[in-house]
Amino acid sequence: MTATNLKTAVVTETRKAEIIGDLNTALANLIDLVVASKQAHWNIHGANFQGLHDLFDVIAAEARVYSDDVAERVLALGGTSHGTLQDAARATSLEPFPSDEKDWKVLGTALRERMNQTSVLLQNLAKDIEDDLATQDLYIEIVRGLDKRAWMIAAHLD
């Protein structure tokens, strides 16, 4: 393909605002996932305690890195990241995590479901963002990581 055949994507300010809004929704879910992972990490009991206790901590750390990357992408696009716990609580699409639960199967299942829901959200956002490949790539990278860790939880649950 020659340079004359390349089409330059111009992102309007309106479109940029939409992308920033979507990134902030993703940020809310990722912050929610960080907190849910730590909740599961702290409270897990049962036969798979050690493996899941460690895995939940890894998931929390990775989700924190993902949330940082998403927040910084918002800034790169000229927006403001809405990353307080209050912001996340208002904007997350995830159901509340079971806060009084200790059973390893219940916690593992609940966390895996939320990871899968976040993955689906990001996949849908990635499909609709061909005009901003850097953001699309970020979503795809996060989906890859979430899906890998959800698979690892599923391996414990089988």
Q: State pLDDT tens for residues 88-126.
A: 999 999 999 999 999 999 999 999 999 999 999 999 999
pTM for the model? 0.91
**Has residue 2 got a pLDDT over 50?**
no
Here the tokens at position 28 are 């809310």
pLDDT at residue number 122: 98
- Whether residue 2 is contained in a domain is answered as no
- Whether residue 140 is contained in a domain is answered as yes
pLDDT at residue number 158: 86
- Whether residue 5 is contained in a domain is answered as no
User: E strand or H helix at 123, and its extent?
Assistant: helix 104-127
Split at pLDDT 50, 70, 90, the class of 9 is low
- Whether residue 67 is contained in a domain is answered as yes
- Whether residue 1 is contained in a domain is answered as no
Report the CATH number at residue 63.
1.20.1260.10
**Mean pLDDT value of segment 83-91:** 96
- Whether residue 27 is contained in a domain is answered as yes
**Among candidate residues 104, 141, 130, 131, the one with its CA nearest the CA of residue 30:** 141
- Whether residue 4 is contained in a domain is answered as no
Helices (H) then strands (E): counts for the chain: 5, 0
* Residue 140 to residue 125: CA distance in whole angstroms: 10
- Whether residue 32 is contained in a domain is answered as yes
What's the structural domain count of the chain?
A: 1
3-state SS class at 89: helix
DSSP state of 72: H
Here the tokens at position 5 are 């055949």
Which residue range forms the structural domain that includes residue 16? Answer: 12-157
